[in-house]
Chains A and B, each alone.
Chain A
Amino acid sequence: MATTLTPILSQTWDAERSWTLEAYRAAGGYSALQTALGTDPNDLVTMVKESGLRGRGGAGFPTGMKWGFLPAPDGKPRYLVVNADESEPGTCKDIPLMMASPHSLIEGAIITSFAIGCHHAFIYLRGEVVHVYRRLLRAVEEAYAAGLLGSDVAGSGYELELTVHAGAGAYICGEETALLDSLEGRRGQPRLKPPFPALEGLYARPTVVNNVESIASVPSIVANGADWFKSMGTARSSGFGLFSLSGHVKRPGQYEAPLGITLRELLEMAGGIREGHELKFWTPGGSSTPLFTAEHLDVPLDYESVSAAGSMLGTRALQIFDDSVCVVRAVTRWMEFYKHESCGKCTPCREGTFWLTQVLQRIESGRGTHEDLDLLLDLSGNILGRAFCALGDGATSCVTSGLEHFRAEFEAHIDGGGCPFDPAAAVLHATDGETRTVEA
Chain B
Amino acid sequence: MYDSETTARLEADAAEVVARYPEHPRSALLPLLHLVQSVDGYVSADGIAFCAKVLDLSTAEVSAVATFYTQYKRHPNGTYTVGVCTNTLCAVMGGDAIWSELTDHLGIGNDETTEDGSITLERVECNAACDYAPVVMVNWEFFDNQTPQSAVELVDALKAGEPVRPSRGADQVVTFRETSRVLAGFLDGHADEGPAAGEATLAGLRLARERGWSAPGADDADTAASKES
Contacts and interface: CB of A to CB of B under 8 A. Distances in A.
A164 B184 CA distance: 10
A331 B198 CA distance: 29
A99 B205 CA distance: 16
Contact of B202 (A5, A14, A137, A343): A14
A164 B185 contact: yes
Given A223-B218, A234-B227, A330-B88, A186 B203 contact: no
B93 A247 contact: yes
B8 interface: no
Contact of A138 (B24, B139, B168, B187): B187
A100 B201 contact: yes
- In this complex, the interface size class of chain B, counting residues with CB under 8 Å from chain A, is 35 or more
B208 interface: yes
B91 to A, nearest CB: 6
B75 interface: no
Given A138-B192, A287-B88, A438 B200 contact: yes
Contact of B29 (A20, A137, A185, A251): A185
Contact of A227 (B20, B72, B198, B221): B221
B87 A426 contact: no
A99 B221 contact: no
Interface in A219-273: 223-225, 227-228, 230-237, 240, 243-248, 251-258, 260, 269-270
Contacts of B94: 427-429
B128 interface: yes
Contacts of A151: none
B14 to A, nearest CB: 13
A334 interface: yes
B205 A13 contact: yes
B229 A245 contact: no
B175 to A, nearest CB: 12
A228 B227 contact: no
Contact of B23 (A77, A252, A337, A343): A77
A359 interface: no
A66 interface: no
B155 to A, nearest CB: 15
B30 A134 contact: no
A170 B30 contact: no
Interface string A106-135: 000000000000001000001111110111
B126 A89 contact: yes
Given A7-B214, A258-B225, A287-B88, A435 B199 contact: no
Given A7-B204, A13-B202, 8 more contacts: A6-B208, A7-B215, A127-B71, A129-B140, A134-B190, A247-B89, A337-B126, A440-B206
Interface of B: 20-21, 23-24, 26-31, 33-34, 55, 64-65, 68-72, 83, 86-89, 91-94, 96-97, 124-134, 137, 139-142, 145-150, 166, 168-170, 179, 182-185, 187-188, 190-192, 194, 196-209, 211, 213-216, 218, 220-223, 225-229
Closest 3 A-B residue pairs measured CB to CB? A253-B203, A255-B204, A169-B70
